[in-house]
């Protein structure tokens, strides 16, 4: 499912217009991105948690040459599914 299909599904279930639903989803994802980029954790009870995670520096290999190289430490966004979400997918 892509964003357009998600907008259609939410619009069908809520009775809102697709334009309204698209705006809501865009603002919601933007708010989550801003919070996680700012170092905050965003928890949607039953759905899951978005959070920033630190990756430590490590040594890797250049795939073309095979020579060792340093991969710097970085912060990446992460999602952990909530129990209700996991249970629904598992059944």
Note down the domain range covering 16: 1-39
CATH number of the domain within which 65 lies: 4.10.520.10
Q: What single string gives the DSSP state of each residue in 47-67?
A: TEEEEEEEE--EEEE-TTT--
pLDDT band at 91 (very low <50, low <70, confident <90, very high): confident
Q: Based on the fold, state whether residues 13 and 34 are members of the same structural domain.
A: yes
| Tens-place pLDDT, residues 28-71 | 999 999 999 999 999 999 999 999 999 999 999 999 999 999 99
Q: Based on the fold, state whether residues 62 and 45 are members of the same structural domain.
A: yes
The residues, ordered by sequence, that sit 6+ positions from 77 with a Cβ below 8 Å of its Cβ are 33, 36, 50, 51, 52, 53
Q: Based on the fold, state whether residues 12 and 49 are members of the same structural domain.
A: no
Q: How far is CA 55 from CA 9, 10, 11, 13, 49, in A?
A: 36, 35, 38, 39, 18
pTM of the entire predicted model: 0.81
Q: How many domains does the chain have?
A: 2
Q: Based on the fold, state whether residues 1 and 25 are members of the same structural domain.
A: yes
DSSP letter, residue 81: E
Q: Based on the fold, state whether residues 52 and 25 are members of the same structural domain.
A: no
């Amino acid at each position: 499912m892509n964003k357009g299909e998600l907008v259609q599904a939410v619009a069908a279930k809520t009775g809102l217009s697709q334009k309204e639903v698209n705006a809501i989803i865009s603002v919601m994802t933007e708010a989550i991105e801003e919070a996680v980029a700012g170092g905050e954790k965003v928890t949607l009870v039953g759905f899951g948690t978005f959070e920033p995670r630190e990756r430590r520096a490590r040594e890797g290999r250049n795939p073309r040459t095979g020579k060792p190289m340093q991969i710097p430490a970085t912060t990446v966004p992460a999602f952990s599914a909530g129990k209700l979400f996991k249970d629904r997918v598992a059944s």
